[in-house]
Amino acid sequence: MNSRVGLVVDDRYLHHAISRPSQENPERLRRLAAIVRDRYRQKCRMYPARTAERVDIEAVHSRFYLDQLRQHAGNADPFSYDRDTYLMEDSFFTAELAAGGCLELADRIMDGTLDHGFALIRPPGHHAEPGRGMGFCIFNNISVTAQYLRRKYHLNRILILDFDAHHGNGTQEVFYDTDEVLVVSVHQRDLFPFTGKADETGSGQGDGYTINMPVFAQFGDLEYTFLLGRVLQSVMEQYLPQIILVSAGYDGHRDETISGTLLSTEWYSLITAMLKQYAHEVCGDRLLMILEGGYNPASLEVSVLTTIDSLLTMRRDKIGIFYSERANQILKNHPLRSCWTLQ
């Protein structure tokens, strides 16, 4: 029997747009959303996005920031927090739908309707900080989801994995001082936003609950699988998360120009299968993947499709993890060893 998979697909995500060229634009999802609807109509439960409520968003973002967004999003002229993060007439509402689509799937996973979910949303979120947007991101969708799960369902062991090529600085900031959300990020070093160093490990109650693995450009399937295989296996057994949330960024694909990482399409299927296995063993299959980056429409399309295929496929064999000396050098003196026992 296949896993019960839910997808959020909604054409209203195409409304956030600007006339000048931007890598984060509706064309990222236009064709992909149509393909997903057609290909998975009989295999997955399809959900439209709902609007995130103000209380949900204010659990992450300041009221001042929300008021600022409303003010600028209503103007005819575009407003930008940086060269990448623009606000147009429909941007605020679209961002509310992006966060709300994730909450819809979170509810369906928590009430037992679904095992797994994939939120095909935009704009992305993991760079958005509590008081400002940046790096294409307006609301931090995955952080809003984690806070919602803490508040509504009283979860206190949430694992966030971020495999986007860029570090999720906003997500890290939101959860840096708590042990109720463990944030694991593997990302290309010396790349925007130039955060996420290995010695950024959390503070106070959150000390040790931020794990950053900055990797070199040219790392690919072998290195990523070794790193995540070793770290996640250990973290899963020791932290015992109640749900796994994933910032699923596809801009580390080897056909992307925005990073120098060399991941193949097949790697996204493999990491999804690995996460499914961990979710099955540890947290009752609860796994929610949320779209972040991925700016080459062709590689984004095939990567998302192989991810959804992997969510649907029952796989019983263990994932093979082969040794990588280059990747092992990153773990050799990593600060995580002071908090977590690596297997």
Residue 72, SS3?
helix
pLDDT at 315: 66
Average pLDDT, stretch 82-100? 89
- Domain limits of the chain? 5-338
172 pLDDT tier (thresholds 50, 70, 90)? very high
What is the tens place of the pLDDT at every residue in 9-58?
A: 999 999 988 878 889 999 999 999 999 999 999 999 999 999 999 999 99
Task: Look at residue 3 and tell me whether its pLDDT is greater than 60.
Answer: yes
Q: Quick one: which of 238, 272, 250, 269 has its CA closest to 159?
A: 238
> Which of 237, 84, 59 shows the shortest CA–CA distance to 143?
59
Annotated catalytic residue 126:
no
> Pairing relation of β-strands 116-119 and 158-162?
unpaired
Q: Count H helices and E strands in the chain, helices first.
A: 10, 10
Q: What CATH number should be reported for the domain whose range is 5-338?
A: 3.40.800.20
Percent of the chain predicted with pLDDT > 70: 97
Q: What number is the average pLDDT over the span 254-272?
A: 97
What's 248's DSSP letter? E
Strand partners, 186: 213
Q: How confident is the model at residue 290 (pLDDT cuts 50, 70, 90)?
A: very high
Work out the pLDDT band at 2, boundaries 50, 70, 90.
low
Q: Burial code of 296-330, b = ≥16 C-beta within 10 A, e = fewer?
A: beebbbbbbbbbbbbbbeebeeeeebeebeebeeb
Residue 233 has pLDDT above 60, yes or no: yes
pTM comes to 0.97
pLDDT higher at 76 or 175: 175
Which residue in 16, 72, 126, 127 is the catalytic one? 127
